[in-house]
């Protein structure tokens, strides 16, 4: 689960490396973006901006590891972002998907 605000490229680069390392040791099923981090799931970030670079790096991580990239729909909406603005490779999700992930996973990591 990613809750960290989307402003720090350095922080999110660290998180992505930690997730890659984790994926070498066990299966990485999904990354769930919630709170302020849900803003990263928007396709509306200006290309080359910090948020777009962070988002694109998570998209590459998801593709590399075969992990679903889930965005809390409530958080996305609370940030004033329209459902139609979900970035390619990301999907809106809710409590049901999060609960299912908790039930199926052996490890949950929160950043």
Q: Please enumerate in sequence order all residues whose Cβ is within 8 A of that of 25, keeping only pairs 6 or more positions apart, or say none.
A: none
Number of CB atoms found within 10 A of residue 60's CB: 12
Backbone dihedral angles phi then psi of residue 40, each to the nearest 5 degrees:
-65, -20
The token duo for 16 is 């992505």
pLDDT at 43: 97
**Residue 68, beta-bridge partner list:** 30
DSSP codes of every residue in 20-62: HHHHHHS---EEEE-GGGGGGGBTTSPTTSHHHHHHHHHHHHH
9-104 — its CATH code? 3.40.1260.10
pLDDT digits (tens, 9 = 90+) for 51-109: 999 999 999 999 999 999 999 999 999 999 999 999 999 999 988 887 887 777 776 77
Residue 29: exposure state from Cβ atoms within 10 A (0-12, 13-18, ≥19): middle
pLDDT at 78: 96
- Residue 110 banded pLDDT, cuts 50, 70, 90: low
Instruction: Encode pLDDT of 6-39 as tens digits.
Output: 788 888 998 999 999 888 888 888 899 999 999 9
């Amino acid at each position: 689960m990613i809750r960290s605000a989307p402003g720090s490229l350095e922080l999110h680069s660290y998180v992505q490396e930690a997730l890659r390392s984790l994926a070498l040791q066990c299966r990485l099923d999904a990354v769930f973006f919630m709170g302020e981090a849900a803003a990263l799931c928007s396709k509306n970030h200006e290309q080359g901006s910090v948020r777009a670079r962070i988002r694109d790096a998570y998209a590459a991580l998801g593709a590399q590891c075969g992990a679903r990239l889930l965005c809390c729909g409530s958080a996305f909406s609370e940030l004033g972002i329209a459902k139609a603005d979900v970035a390619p490779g990301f999907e809106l999700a809710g409590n049901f998907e999060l609960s299912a992930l908790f039930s199926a996973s052996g490890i949950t990591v929160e950043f």
